[in-house]
């Protein structure tokens, strides 16, 4: 980090540690989930994958519950931001944030001003909030009580787990790609939590204008 | 057919129940319900059924939340063809528990008693009727009388004429899953099983002898008997080669009409199968109309309660009481053997008028083999059991919760003791 540059703390410690555990649990969950869906291996291997799926599912649950308790205000802020919509979101989606133009045509198009999260991130946030909650709840039901819950409910749990699992896996691929592409944000999430002021001003001008205050040191 | 099967006689159907590998999620629900550990497959991996251990009860089938378990034997189309063949008299033999469940397949309230509607629909598609309740009454007369013979032999040394008297405790023998359980896991206790046939297997010979010759006036070989059962294991039971009594009797009488032995029960439909048959034959069950069952559909309350846990024992005690004392049991209901407890027991003191002595009979009712039966069997084998007569039903709740009944989206887990949570191995 350059000392001459201004930095904004985007991801505090609580968010970063939640995210570390999320990465450590969700990626193995996704891989083992896909394997469990296609059932390609022998008994012992499938059982090993299921055990990894269960253990990482428990880790993800504990991570989510702990973050919900410890970072409650952050969770509320995240929910609020994810569910705040304006006409800019429609404009953003109409050009998909300018990413296709950038990647496919090498062209930079004007992008409507965004808050801390752009419209795509907000959609992802909504999917994570709803889908993650459903995956956790249905996962526990399917693991612990498939034989005790009413059959119709277990079958519904199975379908929801499958549908939201695939949705989040597909979103994860986009999230990982764009996360690495926006390397300053990637470093912020995995290392120090801070992004350059100039980049924040470009990527999230509404956030910088309305929420960021200068701290003199 | 599994040629390697070792616990089946020639002619028996090995493996009534199968698991669809494409649908199985490896969730382990079925393993928790299987009373014999016949389901193999680790948690998360595709499961399969070891036919040698399977007793065909179908509890896994009705409790699989994903519908991956199915019956391998489906004779609905065969029965339809027989019904349409004018040279064949198709006799439907509906079990006590069928009439309180089949309505559910047609949108009626759970537990609706639809005996006359069931007869009406059966008649409409061409069945003659021999109500299995009628032979449930016969079974209980046989089992009750046999128990008295065994008890008198044990207590007073009374000998039976022409046959060896079996030991106490006497087990009921009408549940085919339970019979196979004893045969495969505790063969030394086979003599403890009542020698009485199940109601289904009493109905078959009755239909092909008395029914054919006296009621329907048809050649016995043209009678096609269809057990209509709440039970998948009944399909296996009907395939047992020893059950060709009608043929052997009629052969001796010179009335068999064939040199090829025919089975007492030609095929078995489950409650689900019968509903499917009606639907295939475009019968609106709710509008089929009510009819009587005819001369072979007379029965008592004893036959009716057969389909419920404790029902056989209650009916047997009524019979034993009547035979021993000459009086009807008062009150007729014997409540200690009712209810959903895994093992119910009671003591009844009866006056044996023949010997002029009071006899105390210790009875037990096993409501579901899984988790309940082994401690009882171990005690019997160790010679420390105090029971004289034991009713055993494989399925929790009795035949009403059999593997051939309509599959409830609510499941039936509440019918039994707590099962293990959280799969792992």
Q: What does the pLDDT look like over A68-109, one tens digit per residue?
A: 999 999 999 999 999 999 999 999 999 999 999 988 999 999
Interface of B with A in 2-21 (CB under 8 A): 21
Q: Which two tokens stand for residue B99?
A: 């009439």
Please, what are the domains in chain A? 7-211 (1.20.950.20)
B413 CB near a chain A CB, below 8 Å? Answer: yes
B306 closest CA partner among B95, B27, B37? B95
Band the pLDDT of B322: cuts 50, 70, 90.
confident
CA distance A128 to chain B (A): 25
Give the number of beta-carbon pairs within 8 Å between A and B: 84
What is the separation of C-alpha B77 from the centre of its chain, rounded to a whole number of angstroms? 23
Q: Which has the higher per-residue pLDDT, B258 or B131? A: B131
Band the pLDDT of B376: cuts 50, 70, 90.
very high
Please, what are the domains in chain B? 1-72 (3.30.70.20), 76-133+198-287 (3.40.50.1780), 135-196+301-401 (3.40.950.10)
CB contact under 8 A, A46 and B408: no
**Which residues of B are tagged catalytic?**
143, 146, 174, 194, 234, 237, 242, 399
Residue range B244-266: mean pLDDT, rounded: 94
- Mutation target among A29, A45, A146, A152 for the B interface, most CBs of B within 10 A: A146
Q: Is the pLDDT of residue B219 over 50?
A: yes
Residues of chain B contacting A138 with CB distance shorter than 8 Å = none
Please tell me the distance from the alpha carbon of residue B239 to that of residue B45, in angstroms, as a whole number. 32
Q: What is the per-residue pLDDT for B233?
A: 98
CA distance B276 to chain A (A): 21
- On whether ipTM exceeds 0.90, the answer is no
Q: Is B371 exposed, middle or buried (0-12, 13-18, 19+ CB in 10 A)?
A: middle
Q: Which two tokens stand for residue A24?
A: 């450590």
B134 closest CA partner among B173, B175, B95? B95
Q: Is the pLDDT of residue B260 over 60?
A: yes
B415 CB near a chain A CB, below 8 Å? Answer: no
Please tell me the distance from the alpha carbon of residue B342 to that of residue B371, in angstroms, as a whole number. 8
Quote the strand ranges of chain A, DSSP E. 7-9, 194-196
C-alpha distance from residue B396 to each of B94, B162, B337, B365 (Å):
21, 37, 14, 11
Could you say which DSSP state residue A214 is in?
-
- Dihedral-angle region of residue B339 (phi above 0 means left; psi in -120 to 50 means alpha; beta otherwise): left
A155 CB near a chain B CB, below 8 Å? Answer: yes
**Per-residue pLDDT tens over the stretch B34-63:** 999 999 999 999 999 999 999 999 999 999
Residues of chain B contacting A150 with CB distance shorter than 8 Å = 409-411
- Asked whether B312 and B389 are in contact (CB, 8 A), the reply is no
B423 CB near a chain A CB, below 8 Å? Answer: yes
Q: Is the pLDDT of residue B2 over 60?
A: no
Residue owning tokens 């973050």? A67
C-alpha distance from residue A155 to each of A90, A212, B67, B124 (Å):
36, 47, 9, 36
Question: Across the strands, what pairs with B94?
Answer: B228
Q: What is the per-residue pLDDT for B3?
A: 45
B242 closest CA partner among B64, B5, B52, B11? B11
Counted residue by residue, chain B has a size of 425
Please tell me the distance from the alpha carbon of residue A135 to that of residue B267, in angstroms, as a whole number. 46
Closest by Cβ to A47, choosing from B21, B29, B44: B44
Residues of chain A contacting B424 with CB distance shorter than 8 Å = 51, 54
**Per-residue pLDDT tens over the stretch B330-368:** 887 788 888 889 999 999 888 888 899 998 999 999 999
Please tell me the distance from the alpha carbon of residue B196 to that of residue B366, in angstroms, as a whole number. 19
Q: Is the pLDDT of residue B232 over 50?
A: yes
Q: Is the pLDDT of residue B313 over 80?
A: yes
Residues of chain B with pLDDT > 90, as a percent, come to: 76
- List of long-range contacts for B109-118, beta carbons under 8 Å, 24+ apart: B110/B408, B114/B285, B115/B293, B116/B290, B116/B291, B116/B292, B117/B285, B117/B286, B117/B288, B117/B289, B117/B290, B118/B94, B118/B285
What is the separation of C-alpha A19 from the centre of its chain, rounded to a whole number of angstroms? 8
CB contact under 8 A, A158 and B32: no
- Asked whether A131 and A167 are in contact (CB, 8 A), the reply is yes
Chain A: residue nearest B416 by CA?
A148
| Listed ranges B82-96, B140-154, B319-333; the one with the highest mean pLDDT | B82-96
DSSP string across B159-177: PPSSSPPPPSSEEP---HH
CB contact under 8 A, A43 and B45: yes
C-alpha distance from residue B208 to each of A55, B8, B269, B286, B297 (Å):
61, 26, 18, 31, 16
Please tell me the distance from the alpha carbon of residue A9 to that of residue B176, in angstroms, as a whole number. 72
Q: Is the pLDDT of residue B282 over 90?
A: yes
- Asked whether B9 and B240 are in contact (CB, 8 A), the reply is yes
CB contact under 8 A, B411 and A147: yes
CA distance A168 to chain B (A): 20
A53 CB near a chain B CB, below 8 Å? Answer: yes
- Asked whether B255 and B223 are in contact (CB, 8 A), the reply is no
CB contact under 8 A, B408 and A50: no
CA distance A58 to chain B (A): 12
Q: Is the pLDDT of residue B1 over 60?
A: no
Residues of chain B contacting A43 with CB distance shorter than 8 Å = 41-42, 45
Q: Which two tokens stand for residue A132?
A: 């993650």
Quote the strand ranges of B291-356, DSSP E. 343-352
Residues of chain A contacting B41 with CB distance shorter than 8 Å = 43
Please tell me the distance from the alpha carbon of residue A58 to that of residue A55, in angstroms, as a whole number. 5
Residues of chain B with pLDDT > 70, as a percent, come to: 98
Band the pLDDT of B5: cuts 50, 70, 90.
low
Q: Is the pLDDT of residue B258 over 60?
A: yes
Q: Is the pLDDT of residue B418 over 70?
A: no
Per-residue pLDDT of chain A (217 residues; tens, 9 = 90+): 555 678 999 999 999 999 999 999 999 999 999 999 999 999 999 999 999 999 999 999 999 999 999 999 999 999 999 999 999 999 999 999 999 998 899 999 999 999 999 999 999 999 999 999 999 999 999 999 999 899 899 999 999 999 999 999 999 999 999 989 889 999 999 999 999 999 898 889 999 888 888 777 6
- Asked whether A59 and A32 are in contact (CB, 8 A), the reply is no
């Amino acid at each position: 980090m350059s000392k001459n540059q201004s930095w904004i703390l985007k991801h505090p410690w609580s968010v970063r540690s939640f995210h570390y555990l999320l990465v450590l649990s969700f990626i193995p969950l996704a891989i083992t989930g896909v394997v469990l869906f296609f059932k390609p291996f022998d008994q012992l291997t499938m059982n090993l994958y299921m055990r990894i799926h269960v253990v990482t599912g428990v880790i993800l649950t504990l991570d989510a519950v702990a973050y919900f308790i410890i970072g409650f205000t952050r969770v509320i802020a995240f929910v609020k931001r994810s569910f705040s919509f304006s006409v800019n979101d429609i404009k953003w989606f109409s050009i998909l944030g300018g990413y296709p133009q950038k990647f496919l045509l090498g062209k930079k198009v004007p992008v409507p001003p965004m808050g801390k999260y752009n419209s795509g991130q907000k959609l992802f946030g909504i999917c994570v909030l709803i889908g993650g909650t459903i995956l956790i709840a249905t996962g526990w039901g399917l693991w612990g009580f498939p034989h005790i819950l009413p059959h119709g409910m277990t079958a519904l749990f199975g379908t929801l787990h499958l549908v939201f699992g695939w949705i989040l896996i597909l979103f994860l691929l986009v999230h990982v790609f764009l996360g690495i592409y926006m390397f300053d944000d990637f470093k912020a999430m995995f290392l120090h939590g801070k992004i350059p002021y100039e980049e924040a001003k470009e990527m999230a001008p509404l956030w910088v204008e309305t929420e960021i205050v200068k701290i003199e040191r | 057919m599994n040629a390697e099967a070792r616990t089946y006689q020639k002619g028996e159907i090995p493996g009534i129940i199968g698991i669809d590998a494409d649908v199985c999620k490896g969730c382990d629900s079925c393993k928790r319900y299987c009373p014999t550990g016949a389901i193999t497959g680790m948690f998360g991996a595709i499961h399969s059924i070891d036919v040698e251990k399977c007793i065909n009860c179908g509890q896994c089938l009705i409790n699989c939340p994903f519908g991956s378990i199915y019956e391998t034997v489906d004779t609905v189309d065969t029965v339809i063809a027989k019904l349409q063949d004018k040279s064949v008299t198709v006799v439907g033999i509906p079990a006590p528990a069928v009439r309180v469940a089949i309505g559910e397949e047609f949108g009626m309230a759970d537990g609706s008693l639809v005996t006359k509607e069931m007869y009406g629909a059966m008649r409409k598609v061409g069945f003659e009727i021999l109500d299995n309740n009628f032979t449930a009454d016969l079974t209980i007369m046989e089992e009750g009388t046999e128990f008295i013979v065994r008890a008198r032999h044990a207590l007073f040394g009374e000998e039976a004429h022409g046959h060896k008297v079996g030991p106490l405790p006497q087990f009921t023998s009408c549940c085919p899953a339970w019979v196979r359980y004893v045969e495969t896991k505790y063969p030394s206790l086979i003599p403890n099983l009542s020698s009485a046939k199940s109601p289904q297997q009493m109905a078959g010979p009755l239909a092909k002898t008395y029914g054919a010759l006296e009621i329907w006036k048809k050649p016995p070989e043209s009678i096609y008997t269809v057990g209509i059962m709440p039970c998948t294991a009944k399909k296996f039971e009907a395939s047992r080669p020893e059950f060709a009594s009608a043929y052997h009797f009629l052969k001796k009488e010179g009335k068999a009409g064939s040199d090829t032995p025919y089975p007492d029960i030609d095929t078995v439909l489950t409650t689900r199968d019968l509903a499917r048959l009606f639907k295939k034959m475009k019968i609106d069950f709710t509008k089929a109309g009510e009819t009587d069952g005819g001369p072979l559909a007379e029965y008592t309350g004893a036959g009716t309660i057969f389909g419920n846990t404790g029902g056989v024992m209650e009916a047997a005690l009524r019979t034993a009481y009547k035979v021993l004392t000459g009086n009807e049991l008062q009150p007729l209901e014997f409540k200690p053997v009712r209810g959903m407890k895994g093992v119910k027991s009671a003591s009844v003191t009866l006056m044996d008028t023949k010997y002029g002595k009071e006899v105390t009979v210790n009875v037990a009712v096993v409501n579901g083999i899984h988790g309940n039966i082994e401690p009882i069997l171990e005690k019997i084998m160790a010679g420390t059991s105090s029971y004289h007569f034991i009713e055993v039903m494989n399925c929790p709740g009795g035949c009403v919760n059999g593997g051939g009944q309509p599959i409830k989206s609510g499941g039936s887990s509440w019918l039994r003791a707590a099962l293990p949570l959280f799969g792992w191995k």
